[in-house]
Amino acid sequence: MAWMSLSLDVKKAAAEAAQELLTDCGAAGLELRDGEGGMPNVRKPNPGEAIVIGFFEKRAAAAAALKKAKSVLRPSHAELEEVVEKDWSEEWKRLIRPVTVGRLWVGPPWEKPPKGKVCLFIEPKMAFGTGDHPTTSLCLAAVDDFLGGHPGASVLDVGTGTGVLAFAAKKLGAGRVVGTDNDPIAVELAKECAEENAIEGIALSGKPLEAIKGPFDLVLANILANTLIALAPQLAKKVKQRLVLAGVLVPQADEVTAAFVAEGMKPVGRAVDGEWIRLDFERP
């Protein structure tokens, strides 16, 4: 039996009403897209709007919901579609692309890396960081650049996810490397991933920043703007020389910069990839 999906583009303020309407009309499941970021290759809401999607077992119920939604909510866009069954494990694999950044190649284990690169194999599982997201590749470039001039540097990777940035640093000649993440699943997966890449000597844990002895020559944090701002005092304390922040959307750059300038950090560079920006700072 094929499921039907009904997508409604509505003003953000009407998102809750849209969810209620879809549920009242018999939707068995809901999806709300109202924020920043989101999965690659998935349609994003227009500014000021949210996309609310209801999943229906019966075509007639979905069609009735569409009619009601059009008259009550006046969506800017409404679409009824049959949900095509996919093999998600294969679909996921199709989305993961290997990346080459400076001396690094990062890709899934089923890809063949090119010769002459420092290779990392990251299996897409339940943690963020396969290398192909702009925020990760922006950070990989910063890691390559910094370690090129600072062999043996100590590195702290906050929000390590799969561990990709910490591994890249180690493979490019870092000394002490510490990776931390507040998601225990990410920490376990990062440990597995370190083993799969035969990388030793990295301390991976869920320790909060206050419990990690610093400072570090290079501190990396690819998280999200609001978390970076909240962590600014603790993060800045861990920096001996260079701080690299990512997970920030271009319009959020000044607000994040101000939070770190207030902690005594000096902005020294920025790099942009699409809607994402990387912010580099030095300890003066």
Binding site for ligand SAM (CB under 6 A): 127-129, 135-136, 139, 158-161, 164-165, 180-183, 186, 222-223, 227, 231, 247
Report in angstroms how near the CB of residue 112 gets to ligand SAM at its nearest: 22
Report in angstroms how near the CB of residue 131 gets to ligand SAM at its nearest: 7
Report in angstroms how near the CB of residue 230 gets to ligand SAM at its nearest: 7
Distance between CA atoms of 177 and 203, rounded to whole angstroms?
A: 6
Angle between helix 164-171 and 184-196 (nearest 10): 30
Question: CB-wise, 15 or 101, nearer to ligand SAM?
Answer: 101
Q: Is residue 39 classed as helix, strand or coil in its secondary structure? A: coil
Question: CB-wise, 25 or 120, nearer to ligand SAM?
Answer: 120
Question: CB-wise, 26 or 124, nearer to ligand SAM?
Answer: 124
Question: CB-wise, 68 or 103, nearer to ligand SAM?
Answer: 103
Question: CB-wise, 26 or 215, nearer to ligand SAM?
Answer: 215
Report in angstroms how near the CB of residue 25 gets to ligand SAM at its nearest: 36
Report in angstroms how near the CB of residue 245 gets to ligand SAM at its nearest: 11
Q: Is residue 284 classed as helix, strand or coil in its secondary structure? A: coil
Question: CB-wise, 76 or 182, nearer to ligand SAM?
Answer: 182
Report in angstroms how near the CB of residue 123 gets to ligand SAM at its nearest: 14
Q: Which of the 8 DSSP states describes residue 213? A: -
Report in angstroms how near the CB of residue 69 gets to ligand SAM at its nearest: 34
Residues 6 or more apart in contact with residue 115 via CB below 8 angstroms: none
Question: CB-wise, 5 or 133, nearer to ligand SAM?
Answer: 133
**Pairing of β 4-11 and β 77-82:** antiparallel
Q: Report whether 160 contacts 204 (CB < 8 A).
A: yes
Report in angstroms how near the CB of residue 234 gets to ligand SAM at its nearest: 9
Two tokens, residue 88 = 């998600």
Q: 5: closest CA among 49, 57, 75, 68?
A: 57
3-state SS string for 61-94:
HHHHHHHHHHHHCCCCEEEEEECCCCCHHHHHHH
Question: CB-wise, 107 or 161, nearer to ligand SAM?
Answer: 161
Q: Where are the beta strands (DSSP E) in the chain?
A: 4-11, 29-33, 49-56, 77-82, 99-101, 104-107, 118-121, 155-158, 177-180, 202-205, 216-222, 239-249, 266-273, 276-282
